[in-house]
Amino acid sequence: MIYVAEENRGRGKSGGRESEGGGRTRFNRPGFRRRREYDVPIGPQKTVRHVIDKKTLLANFDYKLFGKYNLSEIKVEDPSLSRYICMDPVRISHSHGRNRRQFDKQFVNVVERLANKLMRGGTGEKTLGRVIRTKGRMQGKKTKAIRVVKQAFELVEAKTNSNPLQMLIHAIVHSAPREDFTRVTHGGVSYQISVDISALRRLDMALRNMALAAIMGSFNHKRTLADALA
Among 14, 30, 48, where does a domain finish? 48
Q: For position 78, what pLDDT does the model report?
A: 87
Residues 68 and 177 in one domain: yes
Q: Which pLDDT band, with edges at 50, 70 and 90, does 152 fall under?
A: very high
Residues 16 and 67 in one domain: no
> Exposed, middle or buried, 230 (CB in 10 Å: 0-12/13-18/19+)?
buried
Residues 127 and 163 in one domain: yes
DSSP the chain: -EEEEPP-----TTSS---TTSS--TTSSTT---EEEESS--SPPPPPPPP--HHHHHHT---EETTTEESTT---S-HHHHTT-B----SSS--TT---STTGGGGSBHHHHHHHHH--SB-SS-BTTB--B-TTSSTT-HHHHHHHHHHHHHHHHHHH-S-HHHHHHHHHHHH--SEEEEEEEETTEEEEEEEE--HHHHHHHHHHHHHHHHHHHHTTSSS-HHHHH-
Q: For position 155, what pLDDT does the model report?
A: 92
Q: For position 131, what pLDDT does the model report?
A: 67
Mean pLDDT over each residue of the chain, to the nearest integer: 74
Residue 27 or 208, more confident: 208
DSSP 5-40: EPP-----TTSS---TTSS--TTSSTT---EEEESS
Q: For position 207, what pLDDT does the model report?
A: 92
- % of the chain exceeding 90 in pLDDT: 8
pLDDT at 63 over 50: yes
Residues 10 and 83 in one domain: no
Least confident of 70-79, 121-130, 140-149, 192-201: 121-130
For 40-60, how does the pLDDT look when each residue is reduced to its tens digit (9 = 90+)?
Answer: 444 555 554 555 555 555 555
Full domain range(s) for residue 126: 54-229
Nearest to 89 by CA among 118, 116, 59: 59
- Averaged over 76-93, what is the pLDDT? 81
Residues 80 and 6 in one domain: no
Residues 108 and 43 in one domain: no
CATH number at residue 200: 1.10.455.10
Residues 43 and 116 in one domain: no
φ, ψ of residue 81 to 5 degrees: the values are: -85, -20
pLDDT at 145 over 70: yes
Residues 138 and 29 in one domain: no
Residues 141 and 34 in one domain: no
pTM of the model: 0.63
Q: For position 228, what pLDDT does the model report?
A: 87
Least confident of 120-134, 145-159, 167-181, 194-208: 120-134
Residue 149 or 100, more confident: 149
pLDDT at 211 over 70: yes
pLDDT at 35 over 60: no
- % of the chain exceeding 70 in pLDDT: 66
Q: Which pLDDT band, with edges at 50, 70 and 90, does 11 fall under?
A: very low
**Alpha-carbon gap, residue 147 to 225, rounded angstroms:** 11
Q: How many separate domains does the chain show?
A: 2
Residues 143 and 196 in one domain: yes
Q: For position 6, what pLDDT does the model report?
A: 42
- Three-state DSSP at 199 gives helix
Torsional sign, CA 144, 213, 224, 171: negative
Torsional sign, CA 9, 13, 19, 24: positive
Residues 142 and 209 in one domain: yes
DSSP 150: H
Among 9, 26, 48, where does a domain finish? 48
Q: For position 16, what pLDDT does the model report?
A: 45
**Alpha-carbon gap, residue 133 to 220, rounded angstroms:** 11
Q: Which pLDDT band, with edges at 50, 70 and 90, does 97 fall under?
A: confident
Residues 25 and 104 in one domain: no
